[in-house]
Structure 1
């Protein structure tokens, strides 16, 4: 009979959320990582905003104190201080996670998680016992435990473009550029994250109910590159990044059993109104590390306050039902609020007073209709 690995914490899933936990924990607790793939190298890029001075700072590829938001009629530069916008590529995070020498890698897909109240047995798909742990942190992708009333996606494709001569402005990042053709149902934008004057990530993103074909993403990227004045014949596409992230007011159960805790998107870290996830994952990892260091269970707080989940549900409904124009909605938010307030709201860290200010800056009648529709749908 196979003897399972004995651990204090089992991380089921070894991607970004688990790597952040490993990096934040450091040596100490016995950790087992259960995933069929040992994550290494460059497979994704995270762009996020936050306060400088975290354990991630040495890993960053670039950061900016100001970013541009662009529409057909206007280009505004947003001063983010005391926040900053930052880029982290996956390779250095995976390398930092690998430096946790207390971790054992179990390269197999996890099946059942049997929680008996005193520990959890993680078994393989065929029932073979893999790990016996006091706690399990499960980051495997899953659908919401309670389906959403509105279900959209943040989906994107990005090209890492390289030039032999200077063509990018390293000190100038574009957060949202709405000069892209807008879908019939949804919002699209491009963005530009330059690492140097010759190397940058140029990406096309949509918030909408369904994904595009590969050719459609490439066509959108070529069009956006033309809008930026980039000559693609003089540039090389070094890497391609794709992604699909849920935007839903469905409910993810972060505690399916007493000793199983879900983290990352599976634990509700994805912001329903935008699909942004990374900052909430960092927050979860830091909270878990603090609890473990204090000798307490590795239980992070809810990623977002309940009022923010309600606000997100209303915003999603307004966009989905065509009650507001997506470009005008985001432009109005940034126009009528300090950039740091909008970004901290998207991170789930604004106060009640700031939330009221944000709501008062949104179009009143359409959002009231969306709120009423959401309240009625909850009663059904």
Structure 2
């Protein structure tokens, strides 16, 4: 489906340059070094390719040159972006399901979309002449004028004007509430039509609920015979492998899917932090963190992709204008406070998770909820969202959060 260029690529040439440089202990010279080569870095490379008219020297340091399908991103946004040709599927309508019934959400002018990793990695390879150094990064040292990236043994790899570091790392300090979005999904293929490719299931809360947390299933159909079916929890701790498989099989049974008669083509697992702990987005003047490490993960949901895309677009526009590659904060400060209050309310059992999300979608237009979760709603819209939540429990959570913030440390 995705054609590969059979000519020698800049990636291969860059890797040779990098290893030759290592042999003489002389670092590659670059304007920007991307430390980590996954989704955040690929979006930056693609954005630079769209924005730049003059050459920028870019290096990528990662022990693996990312290729193929290793993850799936689902996100909402407006149609008509550069991502459209890369999408596996998109939907104008999604379902939110609770034990009380099914709610169909019409998303226009937004849409819900699925992007698999292979086309994004290939676009990144085509978009920028990046030197790729297939080695693990160790230290990232900012001397005030340039940044030196070395391997774990201290061997210099790259010296650059700026470092964009997307390697996972914990918050600057522990959060007051620390949950995880953790999940397992099966890519199921049937020999007969069993899925409706015209609509996705965004959240299906008919799954058994954990004692402390929220669980739901969802279905992202690519065709009437092929779909990603996933079980997800928002809770403080991961499950064991067998527990994920049991929960996922039960959800498939609930959907009326005979998994024994289908092919499980791929398995996807993941763990994403949901915490009000602050991430250090700029640990030194010339080092910028991207992705989850830079605060792109929404604390209340674990969604990350849209914020990563915004970071990448801003970086490319700044570089094209001759300015430092500095993204804006992924989310407004008021949204992070609202997320902290929501997490606290769920964690302390002040609100029922299923009822909370059901009420949120019931009392607000779908696009307002989705734009809030993306961090793009106005203050007026945020006040309306707050007004639609259970008032007394959320006030108790807000008061507790306020008291905790006054405590030292």
Equivalent in 22, 34, 50 of residue 45 of structure 2: 22
Spell out, residue by residue over 1:170-208, the C-alpha distance to the aligned partner (whole angstroms, 9 max, x if none): 001000000000000000000000000000000000000
User: Which of 206, 220, 224 is equivalent to 1:197?
Assistant: 224
Aligned match of 1:337:
364
For residues 213 and 285 of structure 2, what CA distance do their matches in structure 1 show?
39
**Tell me, what secondary structure is at the counterpart of 2:139?**
strand
1:4 maps to which of 10, 24, 27: 27
Give, in angstroms, the shift of residue 101 of structure 1.
4.2
- 2:8 corresponds in structure 1 to none
Distance 2:248 2:211 in 1: 18
Q: Is the partner of 2:70 in helix, strand or coil?
A: coil
Confirm whether residue 57 of structure 1 aligns to residue 84 of structure 2. Answer: yes
Work out whether residues 48 and 128 of structure 2, in 8 Å CA contact, stay in contact via their aligned partners in 1: no
Please state whether the residue corresponding to 2:322 is helix, strand or coil: coil
Say if 2:86 is the partner of 1:86: no
Map 1:8-157 to 2 at 5 A. 8-26=31-49, 28-157=55-184
Task: Please state how far the C-alpha of 1:102 moved relative to its aligned partner.
Answer: 1.5
Given the alignment, which residue of 266, 275, 289 partners 2:293? 266
Task: Tell me by how many angstroms 1:4 deviates.
Answer: 0.5
> CA offset at residue 118 of structure 1?
1.2
The unaligned stretches of length 5 or more in structure 1 are none
3-state SS of paired residue (1:362):
coil
In structure 1, distance between residues paired with 2:72 and 2:352: 29
- Per the TM alignment, residue 18 of structure 1 is displaced from its structure 2 partner at its CA by 0.5
Tell me the CA shift for residue 33 of structure 1.
0.4
Deviation string for 1:72-127 (max 9, x for gaps)?
A: 11101101111000000000001111113420101111111111111101111111
Could you give the per-residue CA deviations for residues 252-291 of structure 1, whole angstroms, max 9, x where no partner exists?
0101000000000000000001111011001101111111
Deviation string, structure 1 residues 220-252 (Cα, Å, up to 9, x no partner): 011000110111121110000000000000000
What is the distance in 2 between the residues matched to 1:72 and 1:98?
46
Q: Using the TM superposition, give the Cα deviation of residue 59 of structure 1 relative to its aligned residue in structure 2, in angstroms.
A: 0.2
The separation in 1 between residues aligned to 2:205 and 2:281, in whole angstroms, is 35
Q: Which runs of 4 or more aligned residues in structure 1 lie more than 4 Å from their structure 2 counterparts after TM superposition?
A: none
> Is the 2:177–2:275 contact (alpha carbons within 8 Å) kept by the matching residues of 1?
yes
Q: State the alpha-carbon separation in 1 of the partners of residues 128 and 115 from structure 2.
A: 23
| Cα displacement string for residues 329-367 of structure 1 (whole angstroms, at most 9, x for unaligned residues) | 000000000000000000000000000000000000000
Return the alpha-carbon distance in structure 1 between the equivalents of residues 271 and 243 of structure 2. 15
Q: Number of residues paired by the alignment?
A: 380
Partner of 1:352: 379
SS at match of 1:169: coil
- SS of structure 2 residue aligned to 1:111: coil
Aligned mates of 1:275, 1:188 — CA distance in 2: 13
Where does the alignment leave 5 or more consecutive residues of structure 2 unmatched? Answer: 1-23
Q: Find the counterpart in structure 1 of residue 10 from structure 2.
A: none
Aligned match for 1:175, one of 202, 220, 224: 202
Alignment match of 1:277 (pick from 304, 308, 311):
304
Q: How does 1:247-262 map to 2 (within 5 A)?
A: 247-262=274-289
Q: Report if the CA contact (8 A) 2:46-2:128 is conserved.
A: no
1:241 aligns with 268
What pairs up with 1:293-304 in 2 under 5 angstroms? 293-304=320-331
TM-score w.r.t. length of structure 2: 0.92
